[in-house]
Amino acid sequence: MNEKVTSLQVAELAGVSQSAVSRVFTPGSSVSKKTADKVRAAAAQLGYRPNILARSLKSGKSRIIGLVVAYLENYFYPEVVERISADLQQVGYHVLIFIGQNTALDTDRVVHDLMDYQVDGIVLASVSMSSELAERCLSLGVPVVLINRGQDDGRLSTVTTDNFGGGRVVADFLSSLGHERIAYIAGFEGAMTQRDREAGFRAGLAAAGRDLFARACGNFHHAEAQGAARELFATSRRPDAVFVANDHMAFAVMDVLRFELGLRVPEDVSVVGFDDVPPAGWPAYSLTTFRQDAARMVAETVAILTDATEGPHVPRKVLVDGRLIIRGSTRRHGAGA
């Protein structure tokens, strides 16, 4: 077996100090290009690889961020995972991904597992955690950031879209098109994002002098959204517009309307989603939707984490603006029902 190459050997070959070798392989450290080039050339010649685990034991920092995601079939979350991973790598962190269920109990189990890896921070993507586990994380100095999920616990940082404002914008838009029988398909009832979207939507309808015509729950799942669409449109007096709490469900709803019930979108019914995931722009759906600014949400999340891992954790509640993207799934102004 070949002997393990040490940083001292690299330093001797490159003609630099051992600390210079350490700086070259430590993300964010200050080192000249000339020194870095010499060290990397020597390392390549000797076959040297820095021992990340040994460095973390010495520094007390693992440079690992735990990311917990509830489900990946919704296109919004693969984009978030990719962006978080790329942005954290840019500042010298690695991401350890765990898949959990959409319950606080399961999240607690996953986070307990994450703690065994001595992570420097935890990101929860659209999942929540118990206040007891939050207390444990914070007592150990592990900052927790929730992205696309609010939580009342003031000790946790959250990054969300203005869901209330987004729901209100959708209500204003559908009302302006002359719709009278406006329905809503809700997401997971326990999610603050769902509650805020619906509250904003109802407030917008009330301001326009309208009541919510009908409501069903799709629980943020494709099959349940299909069932919700069948339920809402099972009567002769059907909605003429429906706001669906996210795009993932809206695609299921549109498929049921068009291919099972023979309804035309938007001539018979307008459909609006929330997120603006890539398929929303595909000609097959051309979905009008409220866009979440995923890039900014991720940037805010990474900023909170890096600040917290380098100094005291100060909880922050960040609200990110979104905007309505109008496509072909909604009728045009002036068009009759």
Tens of pLDDT, residues 133-173: 777 777 778 888 889 987 777 778 899 999 999 999 999 99
- pTM here is 0.80
Token duo for residue 299: 């940037």
Q: What is the pLDDT of residues 222-256, one digit of tens each?
A: 999 999 999 999 988 999 999 999 999 999 999 99
Q: Domains in the chain, ordered, with CATH?
A: 7-50 (no CATH), 62-161+293-321 (3.40.50.2300), 163-291 (3.40.50.2300)
Please give the pLDDT value at position 2.
45
**Strand ranges across the sheet with 64-69:** 94-99, 64-69, 121-125, 144-147, 157-161, 317-320
- Whether the Cβ atoms of residue 75 and residue 45 lie closer than 8 Å to each other: no
For the chain, the first-to-last Cα distance in angstroms comes to: 78
Query: pLDDT at position 107, please?
Result: 66
- pLDDT value of position 27: 62
Instruction: Report the alpha-carbon distance of residue 108 to residue 56 in Å, rounded.
Output: 25
Total Cβ atoms within 10 A of residue 47: 9
- Residues of the chain below pLDDT 50: 1-2, 57, 59, 337
For residue 114, what pLDDT is reported? 72
